[in-house]
Amino acid sequence: MSESKVGPNRPLFVLFGSSIVQLSYFFDGWGAYLTGRYARKADISLRGYGGWTSRNALQILSKVFPPNDKIQPSLVILYFGGNDSTDPDFPNSPNVPIDEYVENMRKIILHIKGLSKNTRVIMLTAPAVNEEQIIKYYGDGMHLTKRGSEIVSEKITKVIKEANWEPTLDWEEMPDEFDGIQPHDFYYEKVMEGINRITGISDSCQVKLE
């Protein structure tokens, strides 16, 4: 058996971020996908903290990534920004001003890259916001519009059909605009390509089992 596939000799990948990281193993999410793809090739460590901002991350950075640890990560996938960018006028908003956010992320990245000469960083950006879509589906920013309610109904109807349950609404007369095919696999593959390229570590799907 190859020594590189045993115990502490495996490369360490750390997922560090807010809820997008914390929940990345739910519902076959990207964290679960990553773990499956790098099975026997790398150890994946989850450090996700829902609701956190770059300010929170900076405060505990040396505890998550002790600079004197014998084993340092080969790769850190970093995500903060969604909570930082929330509306500062909302009650109890965790908003972090943009200049502070940029400086926090600079310090976080420099700390991580300083862990070892082999440590690489992938920084995930905050998801795009489609204001027109929000207005269309969430009229007042909280409650669904008629079209938003239709989409929820269509999703529920799809589950009823697949489960062969007896429906309590006339689902056969409702339009089926969604086929359940999501673009996740496409994005996952792009992430895998990027990781393979910057770490030089092929995922398990590209390596013959011994």
Q: How far is CA 31 from CA 106, 130, 200, in A?
A: 24, 25, 19
Question: Does residue 66 sit in the same domain as residue 168?
Answer: no
Q: For residue 124, which of 80, 176, 67 has the smallest C-alpha distance? A: 80
Is 75 part of any domain?
yes
| pLDDT digits 0-9 by tens, 35-90 | 888 888 899 999 999 999 999 999 999 999 999 998 999 999 999 988 988 888 88
Is 115 part of any domain?
yes
Question: Does residue 152 sit in the same domain as residue 91?
Answer: no
Question: Does residue 61 sit in the same domain as residue 13?
Answer: yes
The more confident residue out of 186 and 71 is 71
Is 17 part of any domain?
yes
Residue 206, pLDDT score: 57
Count of domains in the chain? 2
- Give the mean pLDDT of 122-149: 66
- Give the mean pLDDT of 131-145: 62
What positions carry a catalytic annotation? Answer: 18, 140, 143
| pLDDT digits 0-9 by tens, 148-179 | 666 766 766 666 566 665 544 443 443 344 33
Q: How far is CA 123 from CA 58, 102, 129, 174, 195, in A?
A: 15, 13, 18, 42, 12
Question: Does residue 106 sit in the same domain as residue 141?
Answer: no
Looking at this protein, which amino acid is placed at residue 59? Q
CATH number for the domain spanning 118: value is 3.40.50.1110
Residue 202, pLDDT score: 74
Question: Does residue 92 sit in the same domain as residue 114?
Answer: yes
pLDDT of residue 18 exceeding 50, the answer is yes
Question: Does residue 66 sit in the same domain as residue 151?
Answer: no
pLDDT of residue 194 exceeding 60, the answer is yes
Is 178 part of any domain?
no
- Give the mean pLDDT of 124-151: 64
Question: Does residue 135 sit in the same domain as residue 123?
Answer: no
Question: Does residue 168 sit in the same domain as residue 115?
Answer: no
Stretch among 28-37, 109-118, 165-174 having the lowest mean pLDDT? 165-174
Residue 148, domain extent = 131-173
